[in-house]
A and B are shown apart, each in its own frame.
Chain A
Amino acid sequence: MQLFGLTALSLSIVFITYVLGKMLAGFEDGQNISFMLGLVGGGCFLASFVFSYFTSNAMGSSYITLPASAFEKWLCGILITSVFYLVLFLLFYRFIDTLFVGIYHRNLDANGPFYRQLYDQVQIFPYDGFIANKAILLFINFSGAMLVGSLYFNKVNFIKVALLICGFLLGSWVLNLFIARAMIQHVNNAMPYWFVFINVNKDEGRIELPEDIMEVVTIFIQFIIPATLWMLAWLRLKEKEF
């Protein structure tokens, strides 16, 4: 019941963010912000609750001693966070997006001078676009980290794991920048596994990873890290003492 409540809460926040974002920052930014927040934020929040039985002795004992294998319990967690929530979120998001975009298009004056331009300006959020790809990438990695974290930290695991993720991202960015500056001159910024910005006279140039290496890195981030996190969650659940 708690998970249903959290899912409903998350989807409500997505709806509110979409509406507010659209009003305050425009359609495209509203779409991007609400999609990112709903999938990454909501997904991580839900993932941190899936194994939250260990906040009390009574709940933890009841969960561990339930006659089901660690694999079955783990699989339930994975299905809830990575399949159930993802599918539900994408369906819900497409529904509200279609609704609002449809209302916008219907309210345009078809005989107005900029009708085509205004019509094309607002489109349904593409699930195969750059933002959606990055959001899904972040979602599978961060929700995996949340699952593992909730099995290591018995109390306030969401905050602890969120701090760890922020610390990791900040640390890897600083380290990456440090290494890049040691090797290349005039480095402006260096994002781990992605690109390096360098100052060339008054312009800024962008160095990207070679395509084949980028492919390896993408496979690593898309598949290897999430799979490792999920595996780690299963092993931890098997070995969890309480």
Chain B
Amino acid sequence: MIEITNLSFGYNKKKLLYKNFTLSLKAGSIYGLLGKNGAGKSTLLKNLIGLLFPTNGGILVNGFSPKRRLPSFLETIYFIPEEVYVPSLTIDRYINLFAPFYPKFNKENMIRHLEELDVKTADKLNTLSFGQQKKFIIAFGLACNTKVLLLDEPTNGLDIPSKKRFRKLIAAEMNDDRMIFISTHQIRDLDNLIDRVVIVDEGELLLNASVATIAEKLLFTTVDEMPTGVKILYAEESLLGISVVTENKNITESKVNLEHLFNAVTENPEMISQIFNN
């Protein structure tokens, strides 16, 4: 569904953000794109939608090159940026104006999404709060039923109940023909939602694995004393003891902690690479 081959990109030609970056994303998964601030998460998404053009390398999304921005490509993909824009229109006028651009748009779903996200207004959309505007765009993006949905920091600006509703809605709208790619640095917001994790740092792909594989390869546990004889990838003291991420040699079942995983991967990229490549 998305094939990135040897991508090079930089805002400054002398200093590339991505160099020979390769990544393959398949349909039927919700991917979480994790990275530090400035790691290039938004830049990657912008390359996928065609807002930015690669310096070198190729990108194919649904068989299209995003750079050409063909309408037949743009109607198969929807991008929700971190800051959303809504014109001075009512909900009905917005739907009447923009829905025809998306052949698979479903108005009943849209109305249901708005109810679930608690967006109700007869006023113009630009009079809503930022969080409400964002929820409206999320509802619209999901109702477009595009094959690929790209979300950049979707939970920024949402209140706590809305974050929960957002997770529920995304999970409900997922199907085998669709791919959802969510970029965030608010890792906890993606808990129990994503089924694959992509971690990038300094333009390099550090991890692209399913949550099941991560749980199989790594052990997330809390101990009283630091374990010996195993590779410790990350440790953090907490009230309950020491939370550690280690190699899962005995295939013990544990729940993946995305925050600890992210720290383990960014602090020990080489060890992670060894563990996952074996």
Binding site for B on A (CB under 8 A): 1, 56-62, 64-70, 72, 238-239, 241-242
What chain A residues lie within 8 Å of B84 (beta carbons)? Answer: 58, 62
In the bound complex, how far is the Cα of B53 from the Cα of A38, in angstroms?
40
Closest to A1 in B: B88
Please judge, given known A-B contacts A241-B52, A242-B52, whether A67 and B81 are in contact too, CB under 8 Å. no
In chain B, positions 40-66 with a C-beta closer than 8 Å to chain A are 46, 49-53
What chain A residues lie within 8 Å of B49 (beta carbons)? Answer: 61, 65
**Distance in Å from the Cβ of B171 to the closest Cβ of chain A?**
25
Closest to B42 in A: A57
Please judge, given known A-B contacts A1-B88, A70-B69, whether A65 and B83 are in contact too, CB under 8 Å. no
Contact with A along B63-107 (1 / 0, CB 8 A): 000000111101101110111110110000000001001100000
Q: Which 6 A-B pairs have the closest CB atoms?
A: A58-B85, A67-B74, A67-B75, A58-B83, A67-B101, A59-B85
Contact check, A65 vs B50: say whether CB atoms are below 8 A apart: yes
What chain A residues lie within 8 Å of B101 (beta carbons)? Answer: 66-68
Contact with A along B156-181 (1 / 0, CB 8 A): 00000000000000000000000000
Closest to B150 in A: A65
Most A C-beta atoms less than 10 A away, residue of B50, B51, B82: B51
In the bound complex, how far is the Cα of B98 from the Cα of A66, in angstroms?
8
In the bound complex, how far is the Cα of B69 from the Cα of A69, in angstroms?
7
From B70, B72, B79, B88, contact of A65 by CB (8 A): B79
**Distance in Å from the Cβ of A63 to the closest Cβ of chain B?**
9
**Distance in Å from the Cβ of B152 to the closest Cβ of chain A?**
9
Closest to A64 in B: B51
Contact check, B51 vs A62: say whether CB atoms are below 8 A apart: no
What chain B residues lie within 8 Å of A239 (beta carbons)? Answer: 53
**Distance in Å from the Cβ of A54 to the closest Cβ of chain B?**
11
What chain A residues lie within 8 Å of B79 (beta carbons)? Answer: 61, 65
In the bound complex, how far is the Cα of B163 from the Cα of A167, in angstroms?
53
Closest to A68 in B: B71
Contact check, A67 vs B85: say whether CB atoms are below 8 A apart: no
Please judge, given known A-B contacts A56-B85, A57-B81, A59-B85, whether A65 and B71 are in contact too, CB under 8 Å. no
From A56, A62, A69, A242, contact of B71 by CB (8 A): A69
Contact check, B53 vs A61: say whether CB atoms are below 8 A apart: no
What chain A residues lie within 8 Å of B75 (beta carbons)? Answer: 67
Closest to B87 in A: A1
What chain A residues lie within 8 Å of B52 (beta carbons)? Answer: 241-242
In the bound complex, how far is the Cα of B70 from the Cα of A72, in angstroms?
11
In the bound complex, how far is the Cα of B71 from the Cα of A15, in angstroms?
42
In the bound complex, how far is the Cα of B87 from the Cα of A56, in angstroms?
13
In the bound complex, how far is the Cα of B103 from the Cα of A77, in angstroms?
24
Contact check, B51 vs A61: say whether CB atoms are below 8 A apart: yes
What chain A residues lie within 8 Å of B87 (beta carbons)? Answer: 1
What chain B residues lie within 8 Å of A56 (beta carbons)? Answer: 83, 85
